[in-house]
Chains A and B, each alone.
Chain A
Amino acid sequence: MQSAAISMNVPGFERPAGSDDAALVRRSLAGDVAAFEQLYRGHVGRVHGAILRLVGMDRGRAEELTQDAFVRAWQKLSSFRHESAFSTWLYRLGVNTALMELRGRRDVKEADVDDLDLAAGGDVPFCAGERGDLERAVSNLPPRARAVLVLHDVEGWKHEEIANELGMAVGSSKAQLHRARGLLRRSLGGEA
């Protein structure tokens, strides 16, 4: 699993130019690839960052999925209805791309649930001293537990949104988060 030394920008990254995006989207819809490249340049960091975390900091997979997300965005641009910010639409599309890929990997850790049951513990994990330790621990979580943890604790989604996205009950999302945190606590040495 690859993790350390990923350079991240400071939060507060939103591009200010939503109206510029709208114009770029219109030009892209007319077939202007250069306009779409500008959209790519403006948003690739946010999309790739979310995907990278969801796939456990696996850079290769994250890059492939980021490419897929942008190709898909190009193909589906006409379905963007300007009801939300383009950045939000694109971000959700990227997250969907990553989650759909995770769902297709049944082979990854079939014993997720057992692992999680073993890890039942407190609500709040032991605090990691180093960011790298925390990244590695999150990366090593079973995919579904990682998805819930990343979406809730890192990306700031509500349980209702996660439940909708992953097709589970809100209570299940909360339980997955609780268990994922338990696993993290154990991984980070909280039981010591």
Chain B
Amino acid sequence: MNSEFEWRNQMRKLGGPVEPARELWPDIAARIADAPAQSVPRRRIAPWLAMAATLAVAIGAGTIAYRGSGRGTPEQSTTPATLAPVAQTPVAGTAPLADAQQRTALDWALPADPALAASAQNLDNASAQLQGALEQRPDAVFLVGLLNRTNAQRLRLMRKSPYAG
């Protein structure tokens, strides 16, 4: 009864489509009437992807800087970072996250070490650009992953801030 197969089978039964309990379309229709579809030239997408690759390098540089500073291990920080809110791409109709405050905190929490502070600034820029990229490609899983890694790295650097506990 407790086999992996039976468990997976049982869990899969929880899946599948679920129709909303109420009609959602009228609200959606009202909202999209106020928010016409954006016309994004497709040629703009490739530069976003190139930028994402560049950002990956920036994140790597941040990691190297952090490791070079001789504190903590990357694995140690991964889980808390993913629990932390990131400055999100605003989604129409959702409350803009309380992340504005988080971002503000991140902005001023620069490490004392100038080299780390520069890396932190780069990561902040990277985070902002990734959010822009997500606006263009809202389904792009790898961009969400990059954004998470950027913010995880930034949180590690924030812990080196003179204001950090």
A binding-site residues for B, Cβ under 8 Å: 6-11, 13, 28-29, 31, 33, 36-37, 40-41, 44-46, 48-49, 52-53, 59, 62-68, 70-81, 89-90, 92-93, 96-97, 99-101, 103-106, 110, 112-113, 123-128, 131, 134-135, 138, 144, 149, 153-156, 161, 163-169, 172, 176, 181
Cβ–Cβ contact A53 & B81, under 8 A: no
Report how many residues on chain B are interfacial, defined by Cβ distance under 8 Å.
71
Distance A128 CA – B98 CA, assembled complex (angstroms): 37
Contact of B32 among A11, A71, A101, A125 (CB under 8 A): A71
Number of A-B contacts (CB under 8 A): 223
Distance A105 CA – B83 CA, assembled complex (angstroms): 9
Cβ–Cβ contact A8 & B82, under 8 A: no
A-B complex: 9 closest residue pairs judged by Cβ atoms: A167-B148, A45-B17, A49-B18, A104-B97, A153-B11, A164-B145, A92-B139, A78-B40, A74-B32
Q: A36-B32, A113-B83 are in contact. Are A104 and B144 (CB under 8 A)?
A: no
Cβ–Cβ contact A144 & B82, under 8 A: yes
List chain B residues, Cβ under 8 A from A172: 75, 78-79, 82
Q: A31-B36, A81-B42, A144-B83 are in contact. Are A123 and B4 (CB under 8 A)?
A: yes
- Among B6, B14, B36, the most chain A Cβ lie within 10 Å of the Cβ of B14
